Chains A and B, each alone.
Chain A
Amino acid sequence: MYKDLNEAQKMAVEHRGNLLIIAGPGTGKTHTLTHKIAHTLLRNKNFHCSDSDSNILRPSSGTSEKYHFENETQSKSVFLKIPSAISHSDISNTRIFEPSILALTFTKKASDEMKQRLISLLADCQHTNKRYSDCRNTDERYAHAQHADVQIIDVQNTDVQHAYDRHTDVYNLSIDHQIFIGTFHSWCLEMLKKFSRDFVLYGEKEKMIVLQKIASSTFPNWTKTHINDVARLISLHKNQLLPIEKIAEKIPLPDFLKTTEYITIAHLYEKKMSAFRALDFDDLLVKTLELFTHPSPEIDAYRKNMRYVFIDEYQDVNTVQYELIRLLMHSNVAKTTVTDEVAISNKSFSTDTFQSTSKTICAIGDPDQSIYAFRGSNIDYFFRFSEDFPHATTLRLEENYRSSSFIIKASESLIAYNSKRIHRSLRPQFEDSTLVSVISANDGWKEAYGVTKKIQKLVGGLDMIESGHAHYHVPSETFRFSDIAVLYRTKAQGRLIEASIKKAGIPCQMVPESAWYLKKEIQTLLHYLRLLVYPHDDSSLSKILQTASARQKKNTSLFLTQIQALMDEMIHFTPTECAQKIWNDFGFESYYCRKKNGGNVHAKIRAKTLNNEKIVSDEKIQNNFLLFLSTSAQFDSMKGKEGLLKLLEHYTFLQNEDTFDSSVEAVHLMTLHASKGLEFPVVFITGLEDGLLPYSTKSENSARFSKKDDFIKNQLEEERRLFYVGITRAKRKLYLLHALVRDEKETTPSPFLKEIREELLERKTLRKPLKNIVSSQNFHTSKWNDHDQSCSDQKTKKDQLELFS
Chain B
Amino acid sequence: MIFTADFHIHSHYSRATSKFMDANNLYKWGQLKGIRIIGTGDFTHPKWFSELREKLEPAESGLFRLKKAYAKEIEHEIPESCRSDFRFMLTVEISNIYSKNGRVRKVHNVICAPSFEIASKINSELSKIGNLQADGRPILGLDSKRLFQITLDASTDCMFIPAHIWTPYFAVFGSKSGFDSLEECFEDLTPFITALETGLSSDPPMNRTLSALDDFTLVSNSDAHSPQKLGREVNRFDTELSYFSIRDAVKNGDPKHFLETVEFFPEEGKYHYDGHSTCEVRFSPEETKKHNGLCPKCGHPLTIGVLNRVASLADRSEPGKKSIPYRYLIPLPEILSDIYSKGVSSKYVNGLYFSMLEKLGNEFSILLDIPLETIEKASSSYVARAIQKVREGKVRIAPGYDGEFGTIEVFTEKEKSDLQTQKTLFSFF
Whether A113 sits at the interface, judged by CB under 8 Å, is: no
Contacts of B270 in A (CB 8 A): 464
Whether A479 sits at the interface, judged by CB under 8 Å, is: yes
Contacts of A632 in B (CB 8 A): 120, 124
User: Contacts A633-B53, A664-B130, A779-B15 hold; do A464 and B120 have CB atoms under 8 A apart?
Assistant: no
Interface residues in A428-469 by Cβ distance below 8 A to B read 459-465, 467-468
Is B15 a contact of A463 with CB atoms below 8 Å?
Answer: yes
Interface string of A160-196 (1 = CB under 8 A from B): 0000000000000000000000000000000000000
B76 CB to closest chain A CB, in angstroms?
31
Of the candidates B16, B50, B130, B143, the one whose C-beta lies within 8 Å of that of A626 is B50
Contacts of B130 in A (CB 8 A): 507, 664, 666
Is B49 a contact of A468 with CB atoms below 8 Å?
Answer: no
Whether B101 sits at the interface, judged by CB under 8 Å, is: no
B185 CB to closest chain A CB, in angstroms?
15
Whether B414 sits at the interface, judged by CB under 8 Å, is: no
Contacts of A635 in B (CB 8 A): 117
Closest to A654 in B: B128
User: Contacts A482-B141, A633-B49 hold; do A507 and B131 have CB atoms under 8 A apart?
Assistant: yes
Of the candidates B53, B143, B300, the one whose C-beta lies within 8 Å of that of A472 is B300
Interface residues in A766-805 by Cβ distance below 8 A to B read 776-777, 779-780, 790-793
Of the candidates B139, B176, B278, the one whose C-beta lies within 8 Å of that of A791 is B278
Contacts of A790 in B (CB 8 A): 278, 298, 300
User: Contacts A462-B139, A505-B15, A777-B16 hold; do A515 and B128 have CB atoms under 8 A apart?
Assistant: yes
Closest to B143 in A: A663
B145 CB to closest chain A CB, in angstroms?
11
Contacts of A406 in B (CB 8 A): none
Interface string of B288-324 (1 = CB under 8 A from A): 0000000000101101000000000000000000000
Whether B104 sits at the interface, judged by CB under 8 Å, is: yes
Is B117 a contact of A636 with CB atoms below 8 Å?
Answer: yes
Interface residues in B182-235 by Cβ distance below 8 A to A read none
Is A626 a contact of B49 with CB atoms below 8 Å?
Answer: yes
B143 CB to closest chain A CB, in angstroms?
7
Whether B156 sits at the interface, judged by CB under 8 Å, is: no
User: Contacts A626-B47, A777-B16, A791-B278 hold; do A661 and B129 have CB atoms under 8 A apart?
Assistant: yes
User: Contacts A480-B98, A664-B141 hold; do A630 and B134 have CB atoms under 8 A apart?
Assistant: no
Closest to B49 in A: A630
Contacts of B402 in A (CB 8 A): 468
User: Contacts A515-B128, A633-B120, A790-B298 hold; do A464 and B104 have CB atoms under 8 A apart?
Assistant: no
B49 CB to closest chain A CB, in angstroms?
4
Is A460 a contact of B176 with CB atoms below 8 Å?
Answer: yes
Whether B109 sits at the interface, judged by CB under 8 Å, is: no
User: Contacts A515-B128, A776-B16, A793-B278 hold; do A475 and B46 have CB atoms under 8 A apart?
Assistant: no
Is A478 a contact of B104 with CB atoms below 8 Å?
Answer: yes
Of the candidates A468, A665, A779, the one whose C-beta lies within 8 Å of that of B97 is A665
Is B118 a contact of A634 with CB atoms below 8 Å?
Answer: yes
A223 CB to closest chain B CB, in angstroms?
32
Is B121 a contact of A793 with CB atoms below 8 Å?
Answer: no
Is B170 a contact of A464 with CB atoms below 8 Å?
Answer: yes
Is A465 a contact of B139 with CB atoms below 8 Å?
Answer: no
Whether B277 sits at the interface, judged by CB under 8 Å, is: yes
A215–B225 CA distance with the chains assembled, in angstroms: 59
Interface residues in B80-128 by Cβ distance below 8 A to A read 95, 97-99, 104, 106, 116-121, 123-124, 127-128
Interface residues in B55-95 by Cβ distance below 8 A to A read 95
Is A467 a contact of B46 with CB atoms below 8 Å?
Answer: no
Is A480 a contact of B104 with CB atoms below 8 Å?
Answer: yes
Is B403 a contact of A666 with CB atoms below 8 Å?
Answer: no
A657–B127 CA distance with the chains assembled, in angstroms: 13
Of the candidates A467, A468, A506, A631, the one whose C-beta lies within 8 Å of that of B123 is A631
Is A502 a contact of B129 with CB atoms below 8 Å?
Answer: no
B121 CB to closest chain A CB, in angstroms?
4
Is B403 a contact of A468 with CB atoms below 8 Å?
Answer: yes
Contacts of A663 in B (CB 8 A): 143, 146
A516–B129 CA distance with the chains assembled, in angstroms: 11
Interface string of B259-290 (1 = CB under 8 A from A): 00000000000100000111000000000000
Is A633 a contact of B119 with CB atoms below 8 Å?
Answer: yes
A629–B43 CA distance with the chains assembled, in angstroms: 12
Instruction: Tell me how many residues of B have a C-beta within 8 Å of chain A.
Output: 55
Whether B167 sits at the interface, judged by CB under 8 Å, is: yes
Of the candidates A468, A515, A650, A664, the one whose C-beta lies within 8 Å of that of B142 is A664
Interface string of A626-668 (1 = CB under 8 A from B): 1101111111110000000000001000100101010111100
Is B16 a contact of A468 with CB atoms below 8 Å?
Answer: no
Whether A481 sits at the interface, judged by CB under 8 Å, is: yes
Whether B138 sits at the interface, judged by CB under 8 Å, is: yes
Whether B169 sits at the interface, judged by CB under 8 Å, is: yes
Whether B132 sits at the interface, judged by CB under 8 Å, is: yes
Whether A504 sits at the interface, judged by CB under 8 Å, is: yes
User: Contacts A467-B169, A635-B117 hold; do A630 and B123 have CB atoms under 8 A apart?
Assistant: yes
Is A634 a contact of B124 with CB atoms below 8 Å?
Answer: yes
Closest to A633 in B: B120
Is B300 a contact of A502 with CB atoms below 8 Å?
Answer: no
Is A634 a contact of B49 with CB atoms below 8 Å?
Answer: no
A668–B124 CA distance with the chains assembled, in angstroms: 23
A790 CB to closest chain B CB, in angstroms?
7
Whether B135 sits at the interface, judged by CB under 8 Å, is: yes
Whether B140 sits at the interface, judged by CB under 8 Å, is: yes
Of the candidates B95, B127, B168, B298, the one whose C-beta lies within 8 Å of that of A627 is B127
Is A664 a contact of B120 with CB atoms below 8 Å?
Answer: no
Contacts of A515 in B (CB 8 A): 128
Whether B177 sits at the interface, judged by CB under 8 Å, is: yes
A629–B49 CA distance with the chains assembled, in angstroms: 9
Whether B337 sits at the interface, judged by CB under 8 Å, is: no
A627–B403 CA distance with the chains assembled, in angstroms: 34
User: Contacts A463-B15, A661-B128 hold; do A634 and B117 have CB atoms under 8 A apart?
Assistant: yes
Contacts of A460 in B (CB 8 A): 104, 106, 169, 176-177
Is A465 a contact of B133 with CB atoms below 8 Å?
Answer: no
Contacts of B403 in A (CB 8 A): 464-465, 468
User: Contacts A505-B135, A631-B123, A637-B117 hold; do A468 and B303 have CB atoms under 8 A apart?
Assistant: yes
Of the candidates B50, B119, B129, the one whose C-beta lies within 8 Å of that of A664 is B129
Whether A375 sits at the interface, judged by CB under 8 Å, is: no
Whether A623 sits at the interface, judged by CB under 8 Å, is: yes
A272–B45 CA distance with the chains assembled, in angstroms: 50
Whether A742 sits at the interface, judged by CB under 8 Å, is: no
Contacts of A659 in B (CB 8 A): 128
Is A776 a contact of B140 with CB atoms below 8 Å?
Answer: no
Contacts of A665 in B (CB 8 A): 97-99, 141-142
Contacts of A467 in B (CB 8 A): 106, 168-170, 176
A137–B276 CA distance with the chains assembled, in angstroms: 63
Contacts of B106 in A (CB 8 A): 460, 467
Contacts of B170 in A (CB 8 A): 463-464, 467
Interface residues in B326-351 by Cβ distance below 8 A to A read none
A673–B270 CA distance with the chains assembled, in angstroms: 47
Closest to A634 in B: B120
A537 CB to closest chain B CB, in angstroms?
24
Closest to A465 in B: B403
Contacts of B99 in A (CB 8 A): 480, 482, 665
**16 sampled A-B residue pairs with Cβ under 8 A:** A459-B104, A463-B15, A468-B169, A468-B303, A478-B177, A480-B141, A505-B134, A626-B47, A630-B45, A630-B46, A633-B117, A634-B121, A657-B128, A664-B129, A792-B278, A793-B278
Where the two chains meet, the residues of A that have a C-beta atom closer than 8 Å to any C-beta of B are 459-465, 467-468, 471-472, 475, 478-482, 502-508, 515-516, 623, 626-627, 629-637, 650, 654, 657, 659, 661, 663-666, 776-777, 779-780, 790-793
Those 4 A-B pairs whose CB atoms lie nearest each other, nearest first: A665-B141, A626-B46, A633-B120, A631-B124
Task: Knowing that A467-B170, A507-B139 touch, tell me 16 more A-B residue pairs with CB under 8 angstroms.
Answer: A459-B97, A462-B139, A463-B170, A467-B169, A471-B301, A480-B141, A502-B131, A508-B131, A627-B133, A630-B123, A631-B124, A633-B49, A637-B117, A664-B98, A664-B129, A790-B298
